[in-house]
Amino acid sequence: MRSNSNNAAYGADAGGAIGAGVSDISQLSINTIRTLSMDGVEKANSGHPGTAMALAPAMYALWQHELNYDPANPLWPGRDRFVLSVGHASMLLYSTLYLTGVKDIEHDKVVDRPSLTIDDLKQFRQLNSKTPGHPEYRFTAGVETTTGPLGQGCGNSVGMAIAEKWLAARYNKPGYDLFDYYTYVFCGDGDMMEGVASEAASTAGHLGLGNLIWLYDSNQISIEGSTDLAFTENVAKRFEGYNWHVQTINDVNDVAAVRKALDAARAVKDKPSMIVMHTVIGYGAPKKAGTASAHGEPLGEAEIEGAKKAYHWPSAEPFYVPEGVKEHFQEGLGKRGAAASAAWKKKFEAYAKEYPAEASQLTDIFEHRLPAGWDKDIPTWDADPKGVASRASSGRVINAVAKNLPWMIGGSADLSPSTKTNLTFEGAGSFQPPQWNGSYAGRNLHFGVREHAMGSICNGIALSGVRAYGSGFLIFSDYMKAPIRLSAIMEVPVIYIFTHDSIGVGEDGPTHQPIEQLAQLRATPGIMTIRPGDANEVSEAWRTIIPLTEKPAVLILSRQNLPTLDRTKYAPASGLAKGAYVLASCEGTPDVILMASGSEVSLVVDAYEKLTAEGVKARVVSFPSFDLFEEQDQAYKDSVLPPEVKGRVAVEQAAAFGWDRYTGLGGSIIAMNTFGASAPLKDLLTKFGFTPEKVYEAAKAQAARK
């Protein structure tokens, strides 16, 4: 049940030492959030106390009175989502999770112990504590997403709102509104300055996401001082231009005003909402309130003492929690959330009897399981010297997979005709509001030219249980570095599809020819990067990445055709699952090993055939994934790359960085050491040495090594 919209209800909690529209116990609860946050930062001698102090009334208003959330079941699928995009104010969230009694999660199951204890708050920012400097998903129960780089939480929230709309359109039935939750976001001036938040907000406005509410902490302070130094725009007007519903609260201490604004925001069904909240950073601190020094450093004992005096705080003891505060939260959020989650569970049980197929799919989504037969239509490919671009073969495979994986959705940054990621089977449709000729049940997302937002939105979708993919040109992975990295930190299985993977883009020139991007992706922990060498390796790549439930995957694909190898002559493409495999080899120990990924595999195969015809003992290793190969045991690695074989050649149209791990210091690496050039592909291959002759010459020289 949503909060009472009668204005009189908001004035019932009158009074309080500081703040308007709150009772004594409400004010005590607000100030408990403030003091725990201050004390946590002070004990750590590190952190950001001021924003937590300022936002405590809004946090209280939202969690205690408005949030549809059960602390005893933080995995309840119908819950509202809360995102602290201002992740530096993490003590605000940690204090609230402690006071509201949110239960812990272990192996994706709720367990009967608190997510956080008072001792956890005392270990803020310490090694192995559950209260790291910025909130981390999977690390602290109740944290819905990892928010560190500003703006990312804003982007995640748009993905969460998209997921709710999609789940509702696909699975809600008459009398069964299983999905009707909201995503609430606390964001700040820093978020508003970051481009990713702007991209995401523009997307949300276009899509008419009325289930998304951002509460903007406009304290006008950043690390360097007043935001007037660099940020003087009218944010409210900007968001009106994005097609958002915008309200302003002049004093966030007025809890009644916050609740009224939230009610008004929820009443707008066809637009996302922003509530601009004017706050005073470090509220209550005698000298530091409203200053930059309250932002990113401990207040100090004197300021804490002064703030607690201003709050009429009953104890000088750090981490003091007054009697009745935790009970107050249980009487409000606790009881309301328990009743709501129990009602949802009962509704789902009835739904499962009436709609068993849909309920089975939802259970698979909730429990991160794949449907039976998801891979049954993945194609195999006949040998073909002309071949097919791996972006095109991937386009066929993604359609074969997605039609049997009903909760897989995604799209591109305005590039689906090039990335071949459009889902074309019957019923796929486009995720759009009706006025843009689509529906929220559509499975094709159109991100526009917004790569950064695409990555953060995909993270938000994946955090909601729906399988998400985003696509673009490999060169533009640079614009997505932050969300890709956060996918890995959070261990969410987003699939990133990058095409135009090499100097094979030819005439587009060095601005569009990726060089260092592969090395960057390979260097990022927790990501599965795969660059398949032909169509059958593409099929195996998809077969490998879809079962990943706790790791993002990056698929690197070509624009140009790649010959489809004859697998009756060469090893089966199933070897891709181990990252690198012997594609062809001589009898016994080779004198030289030729290694390559992607489009260069066929190049080293040509050199291998010539060497073999001359009696040179050679081996070809297809090397689609460093990450997968490094997961193998040493015996397998040695069977592919025998340590006694010194003659080695690696070929890849990208930076050489990383290949010396496999070639050794004396090995040969044919790679890129410039940013490319604008010319037809054949001319580029000659200029940069990606020819059978160059590979052959390098191999002959390496074969002579002893």
Distances (CA, A) of 522 to 68, 446, 515: 41, 27, 13
Q: Tokens 């001021």 label which residue?
A: 50
Q: Please state, in angstroms and rounded to a whole number, the distance separating the CA atoms of residues 315 and 293.
A: 25
User: Which residues does residue 595 pair with via DSSP β-bridges, in sequence order?
Assistant: 621, 650
Q: Tell me if 573 sits within 8 A of 534, measured CB to CB.
A: yes
Distances (CA, A) of 529 to 140, 476, 624: 28, 16, 8
Cα four-point dihedral sign 157, 161, 164, 170 = negative
Quick one: which of 300, 303, 105, 82 has its CA closest to 184? 82
Query: Nearest 5°: phi and psi at 51?
Result: -70, -40
Distances (CA, A) of 264 to 5, 202, 268: 9, 21, 7
And the tokens for 692? Answer: 């059978």
Catalytic residue (choose from 451, 537, 540, 652): 451
Q: Tell me if 30 sits within 8 A of 60, measured CB to CB.
A: yes
And the tokens for 598? Answer: 């992607």
Q: Please state, in angstroms and rounded to a whole number, the distance separating the CA atoms of residues 209 and 203.
A: 9
What totals of helices (H) and strands (E) does the chain contain, helices first?
26, 22
Q: Please state, in angstroms and rounded to a whole number, the distance separating the CA atoms of residues 439 and 174.
A: 18
Q: Please state, in angstroms and rounded to a whole number, the distance separating the CA atoms of residues 384 and 362.
A: 41
Would you call 232 exposed, middle or buried from its count of C-beta atoms within 10 A (0-12, 13-18, 19+)? exposed
Where is the binding site for substrate, in residues? Answer: 48, 295, 391, 418, 500, 508, 512, 559
Where is the binding site, in residues? Answer: 48, 88, 148-150, 189-190, 219, 221, 295, 391, 418, 476, 500, 508, 512, 559
Those residues whose C-beta lies under 8 Å from the C-beta of residue 635, and which sit 6 or more positions away, are: none
Buried b (16+ CB within 10 A) or exposed e, 514-537: bbebbbbbbebeebbbbbbbbbbb
Residue 151 amino acid letter: G
- How many CB atoms are located within 10 Å of the residue 210 CB? 21
Q: Tell me if 601 sits within 8 A of 686, measured CB to CB.
A: no
Q: How many CA atoms lie within 13 A of 404 on its CB side?
A: 15
Residue 408 amino acid letter: M
Estimate the crossing angle of helix 24-44 against helix 301-310, to 10 degrees. 180
Residue 16 amino acid letter: G
User: Is 199 tagged catalytic?
Assistant: no
Residue 193 amino acid letter: M
3-class DSSP assignment, residue 498: strand
Q: Please state, in angstroms and rounded to a whole number, the distance separating the CA atoms of residues 51 and 69.
A: 23
Strands (E), 91-219: 103-106, 109-114, 183-188, 212-218
List residues with catalytic annotation: 451
